[in-house]
Amino acid sequence: MDLVIRNARVVDGTGGPGRRADVAIADGRIAEIRPEDSPGPRPSGRRTLDADGLVLAPGFIDMHAHSDLALLRDPDHSAKAAQGVTLEVLGQDGLSYAPVDDRTLAEVRRSITGWNGNGDDIDFDWRTVGEYLDRLDRNFGGRGIAVNAAYLVPQGTVRMYAVGWEDRPATGAELDRMKALVAQGMAEGAVGMSSGLTYTPGMYADDAELTELCRVVAGYGGYYCPHHRSYGAGALGAYEEMVRLTRNAGCALHLAHATMNFGVNEGRAPELLALLDDALDAGADISLDTYPYTPGCTTLVAMLPSWASEGGPASVLTRLADDATAERIRHHLEELGSDGCHGVPIEWDTIEISGVGAPTLADHVGRTVAETARLRGEAPWATARRLLVEDRLGPTILQHVGHEENVRQIMRHRVHTGGSDGILQGDKPHPRAYGTFPHYLGRYVRELGTLSLEECIAHLTSRPARRLGLADRGYVREGYRADLVLLDPATVAAGSTFEEPRTLPVGIPHVLIDGRFVIEDGRRTQVLAGRAVRGTGSVRGRP
């Protein structure tokens, strides 16, 4: 054997009780699991690790990540590796960097600068989904990437490519083009399709268009992952819309960062869960992910009404520069409740600036828009408008609109999985980017008892592996890939806080991908064991 991990408490991802065992690894896979009370000799190997007092679990799967460029620029990527994440799902919220042509690439880079940076440090030498996945594999001189990555075809990017930024139904030819782009992406290795239905231009698609695209995804065995049309005033209706749409399309559904936010939804998680339970009992194929925090995180420009973003980023800036149009935007934001702000009038004291691109605006970071406006003696909309214009739509925000009891009730659901929704950009990113998985284990398992350790690990491992169709990941089983986490259940905790969001976790001394240590004794190694994980519908076959 290459490695034998002795005396660990193996929590295998099934949700069942843990058991002490030796786990032997050879050629990147789990070769033998020998329970403590088994007769016969213990396995031996070239290296032995005594894991007495530690829990051995499958590697965690981040079902909602925004590391699309971070994996290409940062070989360390401790933000995720140190949490025990061994696989991330990219291409989220309908906006990412493949498939594109030159025009679309320039537009999508500009529109999600707040998520991933402007990309000036990246060689965008791909255009298709397959080429992007190949780039992950050959990154850093062919060594690969820090953790494994799967990809969702981004519906907003596809619409940008085929239709543009216009708020109108697609023509028949445009719909055929979008279906072909989705089919190509699925054939090249995507695991499904995402949408951002409060982000332009993806939000301009009607249900008929989305249904046709979901039928294509279903034909390749993939799933649809929507950031749906409202997490606020219309949240329950938006969830129901996605359930109905995917059932009509015969497509599996995975609800992105599923939560119930804003004052209108306080205490209403049971209504969402009842809706999902009814659909599941009727035969629907549904799962969801959440992060274990109450604030959300997005870009400031996402708050604007969708009509203000029609035409793309340059058109947004033109409208903001015009006083009359800017006043109309303010009216929608503050009085009517824009669709970008989920139908709820914006409360500027809940909007905290978490990152800016321009160094001259750095003093805004860590303050709410309302606070900065008071300091400057101006109206909050004047502050927000100036930030958007001067930072070329770049500011990211924390939106403090969640409810703790909703978070806890949803994470207990039978189809729940973990997703960080981690945006790594900005001077003060959301702590979920560095802390989601240890926060589940420390706060919600050990401190609050919301989930048992065994239940929580199943939520973070085997459930997402099943959704992704991975035949050899998500469990500690013989023959499975040795993507493993060793953690101390007595001390595991997120180090990241809202004040110090880039602090690494504690209590996770070892993380392995394909049997190779990416975290060893609490430190990041030089190993790049991550690769692109292609979907089951890929022409390359099962991953």
| Tens digits of pLDDT across the chain (543 residues) | 999 999 999 999 999 999 999 999 999 999 999 999 899 899 999 999 999 999 999 999 999 999 999 999 999 999 999 999 999 999 999 999 999 999 999 999 999 999 999 999 999 999 999 999 999 999 999 999 999 999 999 999 999 999 999 999 999 999 999 999 999 999 999 999 999 999 999 999 999 999 999 999 999 999 999 999 999 999 999 999 999 999 999 999 999 999 999 999 999 999 999 999 999 999 999 999 999 999 999 999 999 999 999 999 999 999 999 999 999 999 999 999 999 999 999 999 999 999 999 999 999 999 999 999 999 999 999 999 999 999 999 999 999 999 999 999 999 999 999 999 999 998 899 999 999 999 999 999 999 999 999 999 999 999 999 999 999 999 999 999 999 999 999 999 999 999 999 999 999 999 999 999 999 999 999 999 999 999 987 643 333
Output the 3-class SS for 476-537: CCCCCECCEEEECCCCCECCCCCCCCCCCCECCCEEEECCEEEEECCEECCCCCECECCCCC
Burial 58-82 (b: 16+ CB within 10 A, else e): bbbbbbbbbbbbbbbbbbebbbbbb
Under DSSP, is residue 245 helix (H, G, I), strand (E, B) or coil?
Answer: helix
Angle between helix axes 207-219 and 155-162 (nearest 10 degrees) is 110
Cis peptide before 429 (omega within 30 of 0): no
Tokens of 513: 């991908």
Return d(Cα 313, Cα 309) in angstroms, integer: 7
Return d(Cα 516, Cα 347) in angstroms, integer: 48
Give me the residues paired with residue 252 across strands: 223
Cβ within 8 Å of residue 145, ≥6 positions away: 71, 72, 75, 77, 136, 139, 528, 530, 531
Cβ within 8 Å of residue 38, ≥6 positions away: none
- Which DSSP string corresponds to 97-137? SSS--HHHHHHHHHHTHHHH---TTS-----SHHHHHHHHH
Q: Are 30 and 477 in contact, with CB atoms under 8 Å apart?
A: yes
Tokens of 445: 């398992």
Cβ within 8 Å of residue 335, ≥6 positions away: 345
Task: Specify the pLDDT at position 538.
Answer: 60
Return d(Cα 256, Cα 65) in angstroms, integer: 10
Task: Specify the pLDDT at position 541.
Answer: 37
Alpha-helical runs (H) found in 310-368: 313-321, 323-331
Task: Specify the pLDDT at position 395.
Answer: 94
Cis peptide before 345 (omega within 30 of 0): no
Burial 198-237 (b: 16+ CB within 10 A, else e): bbbbbbbbeeebbbbbbbbbbebbbbbbbbbbbbbbbbbe
Return d(Cα 291, Cα 433) in angstroms, integer: 10
Instruction: State which H helix or E strand residue 140 sits in.
Output: helix 139-142
CA dihedral for 87, 93, 96, 101, sign (positive or negative): positive
Return d(Cα 242, Cα 334) in angstroms, integer: 28
Instruction: Identify the CA nearest to 425 among candidates 384, 396, 398.
Output: 396
Task: Specify the pLDDT at position 536.
Answer: 81
Return d(Cα 345, Cα 200) in angstroms, integer: 19
Residue 514: is it exposed, middle or buried by C-beta count within 10 angstroms (0-12/13-18/19+)?
buried
Strand order in the sheet with 60-62: 60-62, 85-90, 148-154, 192-196, 223-227, 252-255, 286-290, 416-418
Task: Specify the pLDDT at position 40.
Answer: 87
Q: Would you say the pTM of this structure is higher than 0.75? A: yes
Give me the residues paired with residue 20 across strands: 9
448 backbone dihedrals φ, ψ, rounded to 5°: -100, -20
Q: Are 403 and 411 in contact, with CB atoms under 8 Å apart?
A: no
Tokens of 167: 């708020």
The type of residue at 36 is E
Task: Specify the pLDDT at position 380.
Answer: 97
Tokens of 515: 């049997």
Task: Specify the pLDDT at position 239.
Answer: 98
Q: What is the largest CA-CA distance in the chain?
A: 82
